[in-house]
Structures are given as structure tokens and as C-alpha cells.
Amino acid sequence: MPRPIEALIHAEALTHNLARARAAVPDARVWAVVKANAYGHGIARAFEALRAADGFALLDLAEAQQLRDLGWRGPILLLEGVFEPRDLELCSRLNLWHTVHCEAQIDWLAMHKTHQPHRVFLKMNSGMNRLGLRPAAFRAAWTRLNALPQVDEISLMSHFSDADGDRGIAAAMQVFGDATRDLPGERSLCNSAATLRHGDDAAVRADWVRAGIMLYGSAPDFPAHDIAHWNLRPTMTLRARLIGTQELQAGDTVGYGSRFTAEAPMRIGVVACGYADGYPRHAPSGTPVLVDGVRTRLVGRVSMDMVTVDLGALPHAVRGSEVTLWGRASAGAMLPIDEVAHAAGTVGYELMCALAARVPVRLDGGS
Ligand SMILES: Cc1ncc(COP(=O)(O)O)c(C=O)c1O
């Protein structure tokens, strides 16, 4: 019998969440961001469910090739552009649109021999100071690109550092607006947080939004808002089973480092899931978990292959009982990945991307 742990990917929830992105910005087109193997969900698994997107955005050329192999003929955008000149050949062959965020990428394009001019997204650094040309250099870069026979159409993009928080996007919008005022071309600015929180502003939603985390059932601005607030559905469930139970006496401790001490007699369950499955090792005692669909808590340290949970409220739980680490219990109860991530001091993004290769993954047709 295989070890009792699996992950489920909920296809209908992906489709629902994509529809939510569309509804938030009805007159804009939506890139489904599927970098990092669709945020850990698997591009091949997520593809059909996200097929209604206007395009797919990602980083890795191998993932772009995978999408073409899956039969996707529509737009694909490389969010970081090409990493070396010869990548441009693949862009020509697979008809990939690519971001241009630095002068070197323009130099490479100028030397590239192609019969098929490229669609590029010129990226501005509007304050995040990660990728992108500074506002003062943006217009000159646009003029250079515009003069290249290798370039067909130039769109303009930027990425917000604070769309999910109180600092907001006003400063970046001002910088971007000032530097692009009379430049032609489509615009793309919004990630999930900006789509949901600021998408009602036409200048912000612009022509294309780049929706990532919201497609995968995580609220980009948790804990300010949760997925119920944004009407998003969980797309990944991590489920395991109890493989043992222990009766503790007052004063007994649990796990490595004896980090949890029973204050009174209590029963705990041992779950077939640990940090080698992608469960966060830093999740403290108290982190929520569902046993047979009933909410309880982690007790003691997360170890490589096991976690331990409080069965105080679950007298009927036995070896074999279902444990939902995040996502949906069979009986329907739900534990948002954001709650687990928050308890562990991280974000839903990290947990879904860290799902370990040893966990079998099943595509669940229903949500
Ligand atoms: C350039 C760019 N656009 C869009 C996204 C999608 O962001 P999110 O997953 O927060 O929607 C990312 C992700 O980091 C990104 O780097």
C-alpha cells in the first residue's frame, strides 16, 4: 500500500478562479500566469482548466515549449524575457512574446536573424527595483526597439511592489503614466492583488492583467482579505491519513525538542505528512488542520515525514482517518492554504510551489 498522502488539483476551481479574474476586469484580457509549473499545480494538469485565458505567462522556455506541445496556439509571454541571445530562436520558432527589461535584450534582438518579427513587452521599473528600465531610459529604449525590423509590436508593462498592501499603487501609476503618456501600445500592469483591489480603475487594469496567485485559490492580500471575500476557490488539496495515535498524560511532551507539553490527558494523532512532502517545517503548534473534516491543531514540531495533531475534539478519529493539511476535506470542509501559510510565517505561494515531488498528485475533475 502506498504511503497515505496525496495532493489533489481541483480543475473546476481553477476555471472558476479564472472567471473571477475576468469578472474583475471585464474589458481587459487575462494572462494566466503559470510560472513555477503553474505555482506547483503542474502545467499539464492546469492547462485544460485555464484554457479560457487569453494567454499564458511564464518564465521558463521549457514550460513555453510544454504549452505548445499541449496544443496551445495562443499568446505566450516570457515574463523575464530571454536569458541569452539564442533563446530568441525559440521565440521565433514557437512564436513567444517576450519581455524586454534591459538594454542587453535589445542588443540581442538587434542581432537576431528572423523572418518573423517579435511582439515584445517593454518593462519599466516603476519603483520595485527588480527588473525593468528606469523611467528616464524608457522612451529611448522604446525608440530603439521601434526602429528594429525584428520587432513587430511593442507593449508597455510594469509590476507593482505594493498592490497587496497599504502603500498601494498610486506612486507607481504616477511614474508609469508620466513616462509613457504619449507612447502607443497596449499596457499590462496588474498582478492578482492589483486586479482584485484596483481593477475597477480603467488606467490600472489597462489592456492585459497578469493573474497568478488568485487563479490558485489564495488571496493575494491575506490576512486583510481571505478567499471567501474574493470569491475564490481552493485549487490544491494536500491530504493524508492518521497512521497512529497516542494517549498522553499531563506533562508528556510531543516530538523533537519536546516543543509541546500536554497540560492534561489528551489524545493525539500522527499524520503521514512532513516537511519532506512540502509541509512547512516552521508551522508551530496551533497551526490549523482538518481531521475528518473537523478543525483541530498541530501539536509539536513538524518532522520530515510526520506531523502530530490534537484529537481532543475528535473521539472517533482512528488510524486511517483523513487529514486535510490544506484545501478541501472529502466531506466538504475547507481549510484555505493562506491560513496554514500565515501560521507558518509564509505565504500561500510558497506552500503550493513547495509541494514535494514524492507526493502523488491527482487531477480532480470536480471542485
Ligand atoms: C511580472 C509578473 N507579473 C505577474 C505576476 C503574478 O503575480 P501574482 O501571482 O501575485 O498574481 C508575477 C508573479 O510574481 C510577476 O512576476
- The predicted-structure confidence for 301-355, as pLDDT tens digits, reads as follows 999 999 999 999 999 999 999 999 999 999 999 999 999 999 999 999 999 999 9
Instruction: Quote the CA–CA distance of 109 and 182 in Å, as a whole number.
Output: 24
What distance in angstroms lies between residue 24's CA and the mean position of ligand 1's atoms? 17
Residues 6 or more apart whose CB falls under 8 angstroms from that of 74 comprise 54, 55, 56
Ligand 1 atom nearest the C-alpha of 123 is 1
Sorting pLDDT into bands at 50, 70 and 90, what band is 206? very high
Residues 6 or more apart whose CB falls under 8 angstroms from that of 144 comprise 106, 110
Instruction: Quote the CA–CA distance of 331 and 133 in Å, as a whole number.
Output: 51
Mutation to probe ligand 1, out of 39, 79, 157 (largest number of atoms < 8 A from CB): 79
The model's pTM: 0.96
Give the CA distances from residue 122 to residues 28, 77, 130, 210, 348, in Å, rounded to whole numbers and listed in that order.
19, 12, 14, 15, 29
pLDDT at 85 over 90: yes
What distance in angstroms lies between residue 180's CA and the mean position of ligand 1's atoms? 21
| Torsion sign, CA atoms 41, 46, 47, 51 | negative
User: DSSP strand E in 159-287: where?
Assistant: 187-190, 208-211, 236-248, 253-254, 260-261, 266-271
Long-range Cβ contact pairs of 341-345 (< 8 A, separation 24 or more):
341/218, 341/222, 341/280, 342/222, 342/223, 343/283, 343/284, 343/286, 343/287, 343/288, 344/280, 344/282, 344/283, 344/284, 344/287, 345/282
pLDDT at 159: 98
Mutation to probe ligand 1, out of 25, 125, 159 (largest number of atoms < 8 A from CB): 159
Determine whether 275 is an active site residue.
no
Sorting pLDDT into bands at 50, 70 and 90, what band is 1? confident
Determine whether 35 is an active site residue.
yes
Q: What residues are paired with 111 via a beta bridge?
A: none
pLDDT at 366: 47
What distance in angstroms lies between residue 191's CA and the mean position of ligand 1's atoms? 5
Ligand 1 atom nearest the C-alpha of 214 is 11
Give nearest CA residue, ligand 1 atom 13: 212
Residues 78 and 46: beta-carbon distance below 8 Å: no
What distance in angstroms lies between residue 211's CA and the mean position of ligand 1's atoms? 7
Residues 154 and 144: beta-carbon distance below 8 Å: no
pLDDT in tens, 146-170: 999 999 999 999 999 999 999 999 9
